Chain A
């Protein structure tokens, strides 16, 4: 038997046959979990980490340099033009903000729904949410013409006596995204506190002890503290839950409340939310699969987890596909010449390749997940997730650019061509995202140690009266 495995007697083994598949495989013990997760932050950084970190942080710097160039020179360094006032900037914004949604869904909605399998992925998914929102927040900020005046968006009393325009969805965005970021960071941090205490207790150096000690906010694991913790976490989960739906709905209002054919669509809020969860889960898998392989976390993030996430991808992908079809149906059924043209142009106009890439990535490729074998095999899962990531970017590009480039007056029709600044600003945000993620896995427990322990069979000793598992001392 491998190390750290609990001894089970024959009767419990017999009982297992009628139980659900365990969430932690190989009967890992609590101390094994603590060791395994905490050790990721305690060992010397491996060479691959340094190599990857160098690459991603360099990429992040490229993005920052592009942004500096943009701000010092003008929005004209991007490929925008007169009918196409938004292109990659807002595409990237919606793309990143969408990615964040999976994290919140996993931590909040699945928590409220008592989906225990969420425990081994929620921490990383939430971290991903935060980093994605960071990347997303960059774009609306820098896409404006005069960033030094961007504080006009903040409803602060000034001598000018001008308020914001509360009718503008762009202002709603400001509130929605900042609320989302604030709640997400609180939620994430709250969930981190007990684990930070674990790291503090395991610390071997003064510096680690000091910093994790501060982060742990004096957590002792007492009953009272657990009670407060549970209450706080529940409240934050409750607060986050509507945000999963509202943030991307608000983002979709940027388009839905406008008059531009292809944007002016009531289906947008649910369609955007489904798309966000769809893309978010794909991104969670894209990141978790390599992390699981590298850190040997197969027992915590099991094939069952992957399977479940793939099912969500299949579900939301089909919803998105339904929305694509419905847009076309309504354009035809509505009888509006301009709407009809907008959709025909999407599929057959000069950006047909973007549209059909989107259809292939988002609607066709997830159909593989109807097959259980495909859902449980790393390679197809990873490939499909990469397609979905690309497809979701194309979706936003298609919505934004194909609608703007040919709207009402054909005299204004034009094409959008990205410049190198467009391309590197966007590519660089992956650098920012991955750099933050690498820092996260290096310094913080990427799996929620105490929650995973709570889903072990031994965490619930009274469930089966004859349970005889040897319980070892927990890390908390």
Chain B
């Protein structure tokens, strides 16, 4: 990665030679060399990518990825084929490059792993201040998007394939015609990304076309929070929570712990106060008020279920209490300006919560979901000001983002016919714009429209031009992370299907010459970087992936109570009746990942359904409306209606339904086709958050869900163990003496076990206190280990292949239960029951304590899986890698083979399994072996035991945003894994079986406020008795809402 480039000059005569002819480089010898590999001999015809193209692509990406370091993307003349390897590559060895994934909430800084020129995996960039090297599910899955064979591959004009030059000519024409009237007919609709280069080009365009319209739209953006911050704290000011400085946190409809929707820095700072290493240590306290269960709610010490419309009255009541307790006048102003609703039924909860927050003045914080309106955020800022959070737990930043219009401004202009040329760069407004805007019809009436997108979707069908978009791993760019730090977006490979990136279109419109390689980004960089040699700085920028000290400057937070009161007064009134909340999909976001099989098949961590969304409804509401899981519902409001299947979900607020956005697309892409239910048609610009006064009708039809977990209760078994901070301080070993573990005699083996001789003995600890259940580990594992997807039908049969799964249990009252999450992967038992029963020795133990799976030896009796108490083994019931998922049952008559682009996405270090073999978590043995090789090389002739073994991280561990998964050598007493295993809350599941699992768990510690209503139940999911509920304590039998 840090090699000195460019290529050293080739000596005129070879220094190593095979014959005297070669040494002399005689013409005969050269001819002979050429004859040995005649033209075209290696070419393999057929398929989407020919072998030659493939090599070209690989070579090209190699060249540009490498030469990228020197700051210049060379013309294709410099492509290096693998027959004459580039000097810095070792075939089969990974190369790592820094890049980042642009997101609406700020770029995710990444390190991309490339193998022979193909990016196969991404990890977080550990150098970046806002990352600990962690990622989230979306970033992990984005690699698959790159190779998605359903991606758009051609320019399309009016439904017909067109040539790229024709498109560029059309853009040139727009530039010329728009120039005449100052761009009055020119409009843009873009996605939210803080890209300095885009901002620079935007400035150029605005100069050139002063009357153009530049609109931004994100269906799940956080506009309310931004507008409120600007009005309450001054223009350009943005705020960010710093949970590391908060003892008490109240989150209102905010899923800030789900890294997919917030950012990793927030998770990390919260967890730094959540994680305790010894009994009696202080930890933070989390209050959550929300409609549906989120991962944040799952981790809460106290959780309150409120309807979406109750957020206002809840916060108003809280504000009132806090204003009383703190005597804060400006809060009083804002609270009284905020329209009063019906008195809250949760007065006691609110009062105690307010008291607790106010007690820790200066160390407490209230956060509201970014999607909440300006009025709510104004009230929250007032509360935070009263709590003294400004400048401590709430940081202000001067974010100078360029102004952008909203989609409403754009549609107004479109309605009036002012828009002549519209460039939709990314996004999919025809699908996801508010329903009342009728965006599709308006777009159809625009004379010239261009749609840049990764897929030919709903918007492409209406737009005059569709332009294939380059993936972020195939294009140059830059983007700011949430703290404002400028991150590099480096391509890892040439565009697989000639995709274009938005910067190229903007650049063309600005009339600039066609950029060569990273020129656009480099030009921006030249303006940003200060002092020193530009070339060196640029290299460092690319190597490191970001430019330090470009974070937004700090801004003092001066709360403007009058402006806040004005904003608060605008809080809308909500009519009575059933409410339908529109929530982001944990799998597909706003629908942008809907053709991503990994994400489609990753179960939602609360509902555990895959390949679907659902109308989530609480058990009590379901009862009152006589709805059962699977019933098709017609939900209508204001003459708009949608259909969706009901799913009874414990912990949901009564009187409301939640439905995830991003589903229900038809005839767009292969994998998203007819998956789930489209909620956008019910979502209007006035009700982006929820629709109120919804009428519900059962259509009589039913729908089947594909769930990966059909049983919701722990049945009184102490699988996930939890306790309160108080209990932990009083009885530190409570987790080790819970249930059966309290009275079983010590395990004795009837025979002596073969010694495990390696100096490295691998083990793992999962901290349930900090595990959010965000699924990042699941997708990371899928990406790292080439785990196939199996499709909805197979998942509903119980044949999903995930090597690591997120078990989720509910405990307590079925309407308001506690939620517990537990990551389960192969436990690598020293005394593994799977190993004894395999008749052919296909699963055996290694000297370093791994439970190995020998695919070549496996005949597929499935006995090992039957005998695994954790049920972590996965069987290939069909040839999932070779056959299309809709033709699995056709056997040899089905189409055979994997799309060539998907073949490129595979990790070359992990076998792709065939049908009929068993597979399971290997503790990422390929990474361990890489470490072992590096160790051996480093040691050379020296004694290996004197050289430290390089740190090995499993894919799940590396991805985990909250560092809940820790892997390491349990023989190394200095290692973190040993330290954690030494904690008194460390326990082994199913200990009585004497399996001696290498994976152990740290019990979840909760920190309830004993004054809160229902506090006596918090942290007692295992029941109050010594026996841990094993004998019918209240923990068991919580619910089987949609049970087996």
B519 at the interface (CB under 8 A from A): no
Complex interface: stretch among B167-175, B308-316, B852-860, B1007-1015: B852-860
Contacts of A170 in B (CB 8 A): 837-839, 861, 863
Smallest CB–CB gap between B917 and chain A, Å? 6
A86 at the interface (CB under 8 A from B): yes
Smallest CB–CB gap between B356 and chain A, Å? 34
8 Å CB interface, A254-275 against B: 254, 257-260
Select the residue from B709, B740, B859, B874 with max chain A CB neighbours within 10 A.
Answer: B859
Contacts of A165 in B (CB 8 A): 835-836, 838-841
A338 at the interface (CB under 8 A from B): yes
Q: Which of A153, A257, A258, A407 contacts B839 (CB 8 A)?
A: A153
Smallest CB–CB gap between A340 and chain B, Å? 9
How distant is the Cα of A252 from the Cα of B11 in the complex, in angstroms? 74
How distant is the Cα of A131 from the Cα of B664 in the complex, in angstroms? 54
Contacts of B841 in A (CB 8 A): 162-165
Given A83-B798, A145-B917, A337-B716: A408 in contact with B869 (beta carbons within 8 A): yes
How distant is the Cα of A170 from the Cα of B867 in the complex, in angstroms? 12
How distant is the Cα of A63 from the Cα of B965 in the complex, in angstroms? 49
Q: Which of A74, A85, A410 contacts B714 (CB 8 A)?
A: A410
B916 touches A144 (CB 8 A): yes
B869 touches A407 (CB 8 A): yes
B866 touches A86 (CB 8 A): yes
Given A80-B877, A259-B867, A337-B739: A409 in contact with B824 (beta carbons within 8 A): yes
A82 touches B840 (CB 8 A): no
How distant is the Cα of A83 from the Cα of B875 in the complex, in angstroms? 10
Contacts of B1030 in A (CB 8 A): 337
How distant is the Cα of A77 from the Cα of B888 in the complex, in angstroms? 9
Given A73-B890, A163-B841, A165-B838: A258 in contact with B833 (beta carbons within 8 A): yes
Contacts of A80 in B (CB 8 A): 862, 875, 877
Which B-chain residue is minimally distant from A416 (CB atoms)?
A: B798
Contacts of A72 in B (CB 8 A): 891-892
B871 touches A145 (CB 8 A): no
Which A-chain residue is minimally distant from B707 (CB atoms)?
A: A414
Smallest CB–CB gap between B895 and chain A, Å? 14
Q: Per-residue CB proximity of B693-735 to A under 8 Å, as 1/0?
A: 0000000000000000111111111010000000000000000
Q: Per-residue CB proximity of B666-690 to A under 8 Å, as 1/0?
A: 0000000000000000000000000
Q: Which of B809, B858, B871, B993 contacts A82 (CB 8 A)?
A: B871
Select the residue from A81, A254, A350 with max chain B CB neighbours within 10 A.
Answer: A81
Q: List 7 A-B contacts (CB under 8 A).
A: A80-B877, A145-B916, A146-B859, A149-B859, A164-B840, A406-B1044, A414-B1044
B151 at the interface (CB under 8 A from A): no
B889 touches A145 (CB 8 A): no
Which A-chain residue is minimally distant from B860 (CB atoms)?
A: A145
Contacts of B822 in A (CB 8 A): 411
Smallest CB–CB gap between A471 and chain B, Å? 57
B798 touches A146 (CB 8 A): no
Contacts of B876 in A (CB 8 A): 74, 145
B7 at the interface (CB under 8 A from A): no
B878 touches A76 (CB 8 A): yes
Which B-chain residue is minimally distant from A341 (CB atoms)?
A: B715
How distant is the Cα of A72 from the Cα of B800 in the complex, in angstroms? 21
A413 touches B711 (CB 8 A): yes
Smallest CB–CB gap between A324 and chain B, Å? 22
How distant is the Cα of A152 from the Cα of B841 in the complex, in angstroms? 9
8 Å CB interface, A141-162 against B: 143-147, 149-150, 152-153, 162
How distant is the Cα of A184 from the Cα of B416 in the complex, in angstroms? 92
Smallest CB–CB gap between B51 and chain A, Å? 30
Q: Which of B797, B807, B865, B995 contacts A411 (CB 8 A)?
A: B807
A404 touches B866 (CB 8 A): yes
A360 at the interface (CB under 8 A from B): no
Smallest CB–CB gap between A123 and chain B, Å? 35
Given A259-B869, A411-B711: A164 in contact with B798 (beta carbons within 8 A): no
B451 at the interface (CB under 8 A from A): no
A61 at the interface (CB under 8 A from B): no
Contacts of B1031 in A (CB 8 A): 337
Smallest CB–CB gap between A350 and chain B, Å? 6
A81 touches B916 (CB 8 A): no
Given A75-B916, A259-B867: A409 in contact with B839 (beta carbons within 8 A): no
Smallest CB–CB gap between B326 and chain A, Å? 45
Q: Which of B808, B857, B891 contacts A152 (CB 8 A)?
A: B857
Contacts of B740 in A (CB 8 A): 336-337
Contacts of B17 in A (CB 8 A): none
Which B-chain residue is minimally distant from A84 (CB atoms)?
A: B798
B979 at the interface (CB under 8 A from A): no
Q: Which of B714, B836, B914, B918 contacts A168 (CB 8 A)?
A: B836
Smallest CB–CB gap between A253 and chain B, Å? 10
A409 touches B889 (CB 8 A): no
B805 at the interface (CB under 8 A from A): yes
A456 at the interface (CB under 8 A from B): no
Select the residue from B710, B716, B840, B888 with max chain A CB neighbours within 10 A.
Answer: B840
Contacts of A152 in B (CB 8 A): 840, 857, 859
Smallest CB–CB gap between A300 and chain B, Å? 44
Select the residue from A79, A254, A259 with max chain B CB neighbours within 10 A.
Answer: A259
A415 at the interface (CB under 8 A from B): yes
Besides A80-B877, A145-B917, A259-B993, 15 other CB < 8 A contacts? Answer: A73-B891, A75-B860, A76-B799, A82-B871, A83-B871, A84-B798, A86-B866, A145-B860, A165-B841, A258-B833, A337-B1031, A409-B824, A410-B713, A411-B805, A411-B809
8 Å CB interface, B271-316 against A: none
Contacts of B794 in A (CB 8 A): 76
A322 at the interface (CB under 8 A from B): no
Which A-chain residue is minimally distant from B740 (CB atoms)?
A: A337
Contacts of B807 in A (CB 8 A): 409, 411
A144 touches B860 (CB 8 A): yes
B870 at the interface (CB under 8 A from A): yes
Which A-chain residue is minimally distant from B876 (CB atoms)?
A: A145
Q: Which of A143, A260, A337 contacts B717 (CB 8 A)?
A: A337
B858 touches A145 (CB 8 A): yes
B816 at the interface (CB under 8 A from A): no
Contacts of A336 in B (CB 8 A): 740, 992
A69 at the interface (CB under 8 A from B): yes
A146 touches B916 (CB 8 A): yes
Q: Per-residue CB proximity of A46-83 to B under 8 Å, as 1/0?
A: 00000000000000000000000100111111011111
Select the residue from B712, B824, B866, B889 with max chain A CB neighbours within 10 A.
Answer: B866
Q: Per-residue CB proximity of A342-359 to B under 8 Å, as 1/0?
A: 000000001000000000
Contacts of B833 in A (CB 8 A): 258-259
Smallest CB–CB gap between A362 and chain B, Å? 24
A412 at the interface (CB under 8 A from B): yes
Select the residue from A80, A168, A170, A257 with max chain B CB neighbours within 10 A.
Answer: A168
A167 at the interface (CB under 8 A from B): yes
How distant is the Cα of A350 from the Cα of B1044 in the complex, in angstroms? 8
How distant is the Cα of A414 from the Cα of B608 in the complex, in angstroms? 13
B711 touches A69 (CB 8 A): no
How distant is the Cα of A143 from the Cα of B836 in the complex, in angstroms? 19
Q: Which of B839, B858, B892, B1044 contacts A415 (CB 8 A)?
A: B1044
Q: Per-residue CB proximity of A303-334 to B under 8 Å, as 1/0?
A: 00000000000000000000000000000000
Contacts of A76 in B (CB 8 A): 794, 797, 799, 877-878, 888-889, 915
Contacts of A407 in B (CB 8 A): 869, 871
Contacts of A406 in B (CB 8 A): 711, 1044
8 Å CB interface, A68-118 against B: 69, 72-77, 79-86
Smallest CB–CB gap between A325 and chain B, Å? 23
Which A-chain residue is minimally distant from B843 (CB atoms)?
A: A165
Smallest CB–CB gap between A77 and chain B, Å? 7
Smallest CB–CB gap between B367 and chain A, Å? 31
How distant is the Cα of A8 from the Cα of B306 in the complex, in angstroms? 100
A408 touches B870 (CB 8 A): yes
How distant is the Cα of A84 from the Cα of B835 in the complex, in angstroms? 18
